[in-house]
Amino acid sequence: MPAFQTVRGMRDLLGEEAQAFTNIISKAHETATLYGYKEVITPVVEPLELLSAKSGEEIRQRMFIFKDLGERQVALRPEFTASIARLVTTALKNEPKPLRLFSVGSVYRYDEPQRGRYREFWQSNFELMGSARPEADAEIILLTNNLLKSLGLQGYAFKIGHIGVIRGILTQEGVEEKTQNAILQRMDKKEFEEAFKLAPTEHCRSMLEGLLQLKCDNCFETVEKIKAYVANYEKAKTAAENLGEILKLVMESGCPIQTVEPAFARGLEYYTGMIFEIYISELDIALGGGGRYDRLIELFGGESTPAVGCAHGIDRIALALQTQKATLAAAHGKRVLVLAVNDALKVEALKIAQMLRSKGVVVEFEIMGRKMGKALEDADKRQVDFAVIVGERELKEGSVMLKNLVNREQATVPLKELAEKIKS
């Protein structure tokens, strides 16, 4: 007999890896309890028709589909949302709204296996049914923040957008739904040129292209720019206003939204409103994502029910925590002094110190008000490894001076690369 292996894309989880999974799942349960979400357990195998109804081309092509022995066309669930929508139109039909539902389990997609991308993976999934208000959208983002915070994940950021802005433009430009979906699929993959080619008119194309230019550092400013940009597109404008309201609720609750992306789309076809994903700088794959889908329940034959939800990728969160633990260990022992060249730059220097600590770098801040030479001399004596010198000229270009106090080399380093540079 040959030595059997797991099927490609499937994994055994042993020891610490299995424990990490259990820990994330138990924190997801705690979050569900704290926010009043009731658990539902649905089958792994569902009718193909249900799962493919509004999932989108990307997922439809990656499902594990088979005929059971009774000749039924079935598939392994690629996500939870369709199953939950089925429940809301059947067993939970008469439950009073809002309905808060939580699930956790394995899902299946025939993705190309690589780090953080598997064919069997786990999600913790939250759905909130029955409210169209921005408070509901905010709740989904805030509970995601609660989960990630409780796991000790560092420096994660939310990317947020609104599919209603893009669909609002496309609808007013007379683009039919099928073409809209094809455009959004490509935008999701960041194949913007391919996406914009599908626009039926030059004007529509340039409207879509213009979205890419609206993003700026401040998320509220970005929302204002979107509002002005789509001022003549009634539905898109309402969508941008809605995004602003959600953002306000979320930010004022202390959640770290870092980017509003006007041209952000997600692969799933059922979204109608706000959409979001979570990232950390160490990995370029989403740790979770979700959004508003107000028409799915209706499509499944239920009463018109606004809904919003999200799923957290447990495998990827485990990978993120493990990566951060490893970099923390690598950074451990290296000491860094952050100092400003003058008093006017003190606040900027403090922000940089905080940013480095959030990435696991051990930082001391110059608090004695000493001149540069004295501070460096002292750092040298105390065997500090690096000095980060915050100066006006470098800062204007988004950089600082990094001085290696061991070999005396120094270089200008962009802020984005600073933590990695110190760790390496």
Residues that bind ligand HAM (CB under 6 A): 79-81, 109, 111, 117-118, 121, 123, 125, 127, 268, 286-291, 293, 309-311, 313, 315-316
DSSP string, 44-92: SEEEHHHHHSSS-HHHHTT--EEE-TT--EEEE-S-SHHHHHHHHHTTT
Backbone angles phi, psi at 315, to 5 degrees: -60, -40
Cβ at position 134, least distance to ligand HAM in Å: 16
The smaller minimum CB distance to ligand HAM, of residues 136 and 379, is found at: 136
Q: Please, which residues bridge with residue 338 across strands?
A: 365, 388
Measured from the CB atom, the residue of 95 and 294 that comes closer to ligand HAM is 294
Q: Which is nearer to ligand HAM, 147 or 331 (CB)?
A: 147
Q: How far is the CB of 127 from ligand HAM (least distance, A)?
A: 6
Least distance to ligand HAM, CB of residue 37, Å: 12
CB of 212 to ligand HAM, least distance (A): 22
- To ligand HAM, the closest distance from the beta carbon of 139 in angstroms equals 13
Instruction: Give the residue with the Cβ less far from ligand HAM, 306 or 391.
Output: 306
117 DSSP β-pair partners = 114
- Cα(400)–Cα(415) distance, integer angstroms: 7
Closer of 48 and 355 to ligand HAM (Cβ): 48
- In sequence order, which residues have a C-beta less than 8 Å from that of residue 244 and are 6 or more positions away? 220, 223, 224, 227
Collapsing DSSP to helix, strand or coil, 264 comes out as: coil
Calpha distance 34→39 (Å, rounded): 12
Q: Cα–Cα distance between 313 and 117 in angstroms, integer?
A: 10
CB of 149 to ligand HAM, least distance (A): 17
Smallest gap from Cβ 251 to ligand HAM, in A, equals 21
State the minimum distance, in angstroms, from the CB of residue 269 to ligand HAM. Answer: 11
> Quick one: 161 or 288, whose CB is closer to ligand HAM?
288
Quickly list DSSP for 178-218. HHHHHHHHHHHTT-HHHHHHT-SSHHHHHHHHHHTT---SS
Contact between residue 339 and residue 390 where contact means Cβ atoms under 8 Å apart:
yes
User: Residue of minimal CB distance from ligand HAM?
Assistant: 313
Residue with tokens 């940089």: 352
Minimum gap (Å) between residue 223 Cβ and ligand HAM? 22
Asked if 24 and 149 count as a contact pair (C-beta separation under 8 A), the reply is no
Of the pair 117, 133, the CB lying nearest ligand HAM is at 117
- If the CB atoms of residues 199 and 317 are measured against ligand HAM, the closer one turns out to be 317
Rg of the chain in Å (alpha carbons): 24
Q: What is the dihedral of CA 150, 153, 156, 159, to 10 degrees?
A: -50
Question: Rounded to the nearest whole angstrom, what is the least distance from the CB of residue 276 to ligand HAM in the complex?
Answer: 9
Q: Which amino acid is at 90?
A: T
Nearer to ligand HAM, 289 or 391 (CB): 289
**Smallest distance from ligand HAM to CB 123, Å:** 5
| 280, β-bridge pairs | 283
Residue closer to ligand HAM (CB basis): 213 or 258: 258
Nearer to ligand HAM, 210 or 256 (CB): 256
Q: How far is CA 48 from the centre of its chain?
A: 28
Percent composition of the chain: helix, strand, coil (DSSP 3-state, to 5): 45, 20, 35
Diameter over CA atoms, the chain: 82
